[in-house]
Structure formats: C-alpha cells, structure tokens
C-alpha cells in the first residue's frame, strides 16, 4: 500500500509538475506573442482575444494566467526588458572589441533587427512610452525605469571608453548615455517612417561626434 501510494504520489507529483511546466510554457508563449503584437500595433489596439487565439488558450482562460490586460502588459514589458538587457550585456561585455566598438556592435545588431521586421516594429519600450506615457502612470514609471537601466549599462560602456582613452577623461558618461537613449528612441521611430536604417546611422555618427566634442 505504501509503495502503491508512493507511486500514486509520484505520478501525481509528475502530473502536477507537467501541468505546471505546460502552464509556464503557455504563459511564456502568451508573453512572447504580446511582445510581437504590442510592438507592431500598440497596447490599446491589440485585443487579448487575439493573443489567446494565437497561442490556443481557450476562451475565458486568459484570466487564469493574468489578472487583467494591464497585468499582462506589465509582464510583457518585464520580459522584453530582460531580453534587451541580455542583448546589451552580450555586446557590452565583448572583450574582443574596444568600448566604443561595443556600442557600435549593438547599433549594428539593432539595424539588423529593424531590417528583419521590415522597419515595422521598432522598440517596444519607445512604442509603449509614446502610446501610454501620457495616459497611464504605472506604465510610465516602469518604462522610465527600463530606459534608466539601459542608460546605466551604456554609461558603464562609455566609462570603459574613457578608461581606454577612447574618450576624454572629462566626459560626463551618465549625461552622454542619457543623450544616447533619448536620440536612439527618436532614430528608431524615424526609421519606421523612412523604412531604412539611415536615421540610425545619422544619429550614431552624430552621437560619436558629440561624444568627442563634449569632452
């Protein structure tokens, strides 16, 4: 009996653990789908029914995963922010490049991403900031924190450039990193209108002139 019970218990545990894993997969699929649709069309124009249908979640089950569309939006931002931080870290930690080349490496990667999606997506944080920054305080606060986190990583990369004498020791790396993200989000927006990477190239080459000039 003990053994049988033990087996049943194990089966139950496996069953529960399978269901938990499946549930986690489904949730991750929904978030991934949210990243795509929110980036391309925005938060307000994307219905949760479409997300649900795309990942084959039964009608009415959305709220077993997220308590509201708003909570779902927050989870989507968290996931995108984590993905993007990994991307930045990959470039900024690349010891085979000089510090400024690491920043350029990120720029080239982003250009590839823009082209891959035919200049239709851009940056989720910029898009939601534009759409919701003025009308939703919780999104506004979260999106600003994400940008500040990217800025800190960029400032650290610029500080490495100072240490390596690529930039003057007088450089205000925090201010320059803030300037980078202000202009970069503008360049991504503009590239959606020009349907090419010229705004990103224009911004980055001017940014490098600025970086030399502000020293």
Binding site for its own copies (CB under 8 A): 40-42, 44-45, 119-122, 126-127, 129-131, 133-135, 140, 143-144, 147, 175-176, 178-179, 181-187, 189-190, 192-195, 199, 202-203, 206, 209-210, 212-214
Choose between 42 and 108: whose C-beta lies nearer to its own copies: 42
Alpha carbon separation from 29 to 23, 93, 129, 185 (Å, rounded): 10, 29, 23, 27
What is the rounded CA–CA span in Å between residue 81 and residue 153? 13
* Nearest partner of 30 among 68, 5, 62, 59, judged by Cα: 62
- Provide, rounded to whole angstroms, the least separation between the CB of residue 27 and its own copies: 26
What is the rounded CA–CA span in Å between residue 78 and residue 47? 19
- Provide, rounded to whole angstroms, the least separation between the CB of residue 148 and its own copies: 10
- Provide, rounded to whole angstroms, the least separation between the CB of residue 96 and its own copies: 29
Choose between 32 and 192: whose C-beta lies nearer to its own copies: 192
Choose between 113 and 183: whose C-beta lies nearer to its own copies: 183
Count of other CB atoms within 10 angstroms of residue 8: 11
Max CA distance (Å), the chain: 80
Choose between 65 and 204: whose C-beta lies nearer to its own copies: 204
- Provide, rounded to whole angstroms, the least separation between the CB of residue 70 and its own copies: 14
Quickly list H helices, the chain.
2-41, 48-54, 62-65, 69-92, 99-116, 124-132, 137-163, 173-194, 198-213
Give the chain's radius of gyration (CA, Å): 22
- Provide, rounded to whole angstroms, the least separation between the CB of residue 28 and its own copies: 25
- Provide, rounded to whole angstroms, the least separation between the CB of residue 212 and its own copies: 6
Quickly list H helices, 117-172.
124-132, 137-163
Choose between 161 and 187: whose C-beta lies nearer to its own copies: 187
Choose between 34 and 122: whose C-beta lies nearer to its own copies: 122
């Amino acid at each position: 009996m003990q053994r049988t019970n033990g087996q049943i218990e194990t089966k139950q545990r496996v069953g529960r653990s399978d269901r938990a894993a499946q549930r986690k997969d489904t949730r991750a699929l929904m978030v991934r789908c949210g990243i795509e649709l929110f980036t391309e069309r925005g938060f307000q124009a994307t219905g949760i029914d479409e997300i649900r249908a795309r990942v084959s979640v039964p009608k009415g089950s959305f709220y077993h995963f997220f308590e509201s569309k708003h909570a779902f939006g927050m989870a989507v931002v968290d996931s995108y922010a984590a993905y993007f931080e990994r991307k930045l870290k990959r470039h900024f930690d690349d010891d085979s490049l000089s510090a400024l080349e690491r920043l350029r490496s990120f720029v080239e990667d982003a250009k590839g991403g823009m082209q891959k999606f035919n200049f239709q997506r851009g940056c989720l944080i910029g898009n939601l900031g534009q759409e919701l920054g003025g009308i939703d305080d919780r999104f506004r606060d979260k999106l600003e924190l994400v940008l500040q986190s990217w800025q800190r990583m960029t400032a650290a990369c610029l500080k490495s450039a100072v240490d390596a004498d690529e930039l003057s020791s007088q450089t205000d790396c925090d201010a320059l990193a803030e300037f980078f993200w202000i202009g970069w989000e503008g360049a991504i927006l503009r590239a959606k209108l020009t349907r090419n990477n010229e705004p990103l190239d224009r911004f980055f080459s001017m940014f490098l002139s600025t970086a030399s000039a502000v020293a």
